[in-house]
Structures are given as C-alpha cells and as structure tokens.
Amino acid sequence: MTTPHDDESLAPEIFVAFDLETTGLSPRDDRIVEVGAVRFDRAGNELGRFQSLVNPRRPIPARVQWIHGISDADVADAPEIAPVLLAFLGWIGPAEQTFLMAHIARVDAGFLGAELGRMGLAMPGHQVIDTLPLARKCWPGFRGHGLDALTAQLGLDSSDKHRALADSLRVRALWLALQDAGRFEPRVRYAIGDPTRSELIPRGWDALTEAARAGHLVQLEYSGGSRGPAPRTIAPRRFEHRGGLVYVVALCHADGKEKAFRLDRIERFEVLASVAAPPPA
C-alpha cells in the first residue's frame, strides 16, 4: 500500500510560517491587507521575520476591521500588493529550500495565487503545509482547533491576535508543539495556485485523483469512523473542503453509501487499478 506522501520527504531544511490578513474570505473578490511571516529551521530556531501592510485599493469592511484591527487609515500609505508580494517571495527563497506552512493553508495559498494571477505571474513551486488537520489529529479532544482555540489550550502567546506576524509566530509555535507530541507528518499541503481559475487540490494525492477519473477502486486503512482501523474499499469521486479540512468523497463498498473520508486520517491506500468501480446509485 502507499503511505500518503511517502514519495515526498520533507527535504527542505528551512520553514516559513506565514499568515495573511484580508478584506474578506473570497480570493476572487477580496484583497490582502497584511503579510506576516517567520522563518525558522528544523530545530525551531528563528532565522528572520517579514511584515508589511498592503494597500488593497478598496475599503476594508467594518466587520473585518473589527477582527484584525486594520483600518483604511492604517493602509492608506502602505505599498500595493505587487512590491510586497515580490519582496515576500524573494524573502522566503526557492521552493527546493523552503516549506511554507499556514493554518487552513488552502485559504492563504489561494489568496497568494489569486494575487499572482492578477499580476500575470507564474505560480512558485512552494508547498504550503496545513497545520489545522495536524492539530485535529494530534489533539482530538480539544474544544476547538482554530488558531484562537489552540492558542488558548496550548498556552501560546495570545497578544496581538489576528495580526499577520503575531499569527505567524503562533503557527510556528503550533508546529513545534506538534513535533514535541510526535505528530507532525504533513499529509495535507497545497501548492500556491489561483482558485479563481481552478480548484486547489492537496498535493501528494494524485493517485486518488486518477482513481476517481478512471473509476478505479481504492483500498485504504483509515483511522477513525465507525469501522475503526479495518481496511475498507471505496470508489473515490471528488475532493471537498469543509470547515478548513479536506475530504475525499467516495462510495463505500461496505454499505453502498457515499461517505466523506478525511485525508489526514488515511494511513495507507492502494489503487486497485484492474477493478472498475460501479457508477454512483
């Protein structure tokens, strides 16, 4: 069987935890107002910081200002996104040397990709590790797994919440806490891409994507659910994002029903390429 990402080791030695503050939740309609990041090595030693406000050239809604505290006046004299984004990409370094990480990484990867798309620039090859599914798997009994909830329950610094640099420092601290707990295998990660042109699909799950396209069955070992760790056979259909997590939606052959399986809970899988899956009922 294939272990997720067993063909993609964490080769880079440099990590960058980053966060974006925006005018809203839509990469298509909203814009970035702040970029913050912290660079560190495998041991957690800090190697540098990046922080810049961004003028989005549009008003920041009052409800959003209430969350991150960034006002129109704060960004009035800030640079626009192009020089900030180019400086940020230069600061993080090439993809073969650096892994990025963010909490609910699809959102941050999508905002970066949308801005690059509007600038007419090619997407960089960096992968963005998602710390949300790692935290959910490591601490299933926590009251919540948003960054605020994890900050409170893990005793992380809660000052200056919802500002890009402060949240980046919390993501770094979360990553180190996951390492200490021995649960930090990054099974869900994204390439930076423009979600206004195509859906962002997690990297390293190409075999499941191809199985869905070809109509092949997949046998997987899954931690969680009513059946426990027993192997199960599924016919994958598509990926879905719910509450910051990513699922593969598939027809489960044990009961003939369509179910959603969290990617971070898939321990191993094998594509049964010689067997065609039946069409959905």
Give pLDDT tens digits for 113-172.
Answer: 999 999 999 999 999 999 999 999 899 999 999 999 999 999 988 788 789 999 999 999
At 34, list the tokens.
Answer: 């702040």
pLDDT surpassing 50 at residue 248: yes
Please tell me the predicted confidence (pLDDT) of residue 102: 97
pLDDT surpassing 90 at residue 176: yes
pLDDT digits (tens, 9 = 90+) for 181-234: 876 677 789 999 999 888 888 888 888 888 888 989 999 888 876 666 678 899
Q: How many CA atoms lie within 13 A of 89 on its CB side?
A: 19
To the query of whether residue 162 is one of the catalytic residues in this protein, the response is yes
Arithmetic mean of pLDDT, 243-264: 88
> Residue 41 burial (CB < 10 Å; 0-12/13-18/19+)?
exposed
pLDDT surpassing 90 at residue 57: yes
| pTM to 2 decimal places | 0.85
Catalytic residue (choose from 68, 126, 162, 253): 162
Domains identified in the chain and CATH numbers:
14-191 (3.30.420.10), 206-276 (2.30.30.100)
| Reported confidence tier of residue 275, pLDDT bands at 50, 70, 90 | low
Average pLDDT score, the chain: 89
Residue 113 CA to residue 192 CA, distance in Å, equals 5
| CA dihedral over 130, 237, 196, 206, signed as positive or negative | positive
